Structure 1
């Protein structure tokens, strides 16, 4: 039997995310009335990465986070969910 098969899947392999991209995704994922699940699906990011990045942000391990938090409109309310465990 011969036929045609189409494979549809997620991005394979490891992706590299810049700190700016991580902060942007975090801000999007934890906005009020936004479901983290929806952001994960749209951005093709695993849920474990979202929460790892949030932990890194709390611990000050994301470069430029303080500057970004001070300048970005996306950062409004950001400090509230960063503190949530």
Structure 2
């Protein structure tokens, strides 16, 4: 014949200590034993064991990532690479030709090149 438990008084909930819960969960983890069988043996609903298992997993594996350390090798500092030479941007020189056209050129343009450009554009 099965065990009968009569609960009296105002509160009808049974309470298990953390150790009791852990023991039941440890039994349920054994290979070959069904969780429902462990629940029957301890007169607990199987869903209760699933809930406890879920709670224990949340406690044992927090959502905050665990910091990891990387190995570091310290070496002698190398000579800094020279900064790339920055060319100063200068404003272009604007030349207005006789035919109304405008020519914008770099101020460092060779005079011979500028003369050929002007001559070509004015004749076109």
Q: Is the 8 A contact 1:29 1:39 kept in 2?
A: yes
- The aligned residue for residue 57 of structure 2 is 58
Long gaps (5+) in structure 1: 1-7, 62-85
- The aligned residue for residue 41 of structure 1 is 40
Q: Name the CA distance, whole Å, in 1 between partners of 2:18 and 2:42.
A: 15
Q: Is the 8 A contact 1:11 1:44 kept in 2?
A: no
Query: Cα distance, 1:10 vs. partner?
Result: 5.5
Equivalent residues in 2 for 1:6-17, closer than 5 Å: 9=4, 12=7, 13-17=12-16
Determine which structure has the larger strand proportion and give its number. Answer: 2
TM-score for the superposition, normalised by structure 2: 0.39
Query: Which 4+ runs in 1 deviate beyond 2 A?
Result: 8-13
Determine which structure has the larger helix proportion and give its number. Answer: 1
Long gaps (5+) in structure 2: 61-124
Q: Name the CA distance, whole Å, in 2 between partners of 1:26 and 1:58.
A: 11
Corresponding residue pairs, total: 54
Structure showing greater Rg: 2
Q: Name the CA distance, whole Å, in 2 between partners of 1:51 and 1:10.
A: 23
Query: Cα distance, 1:36 vs. partner?
Result: 1.0
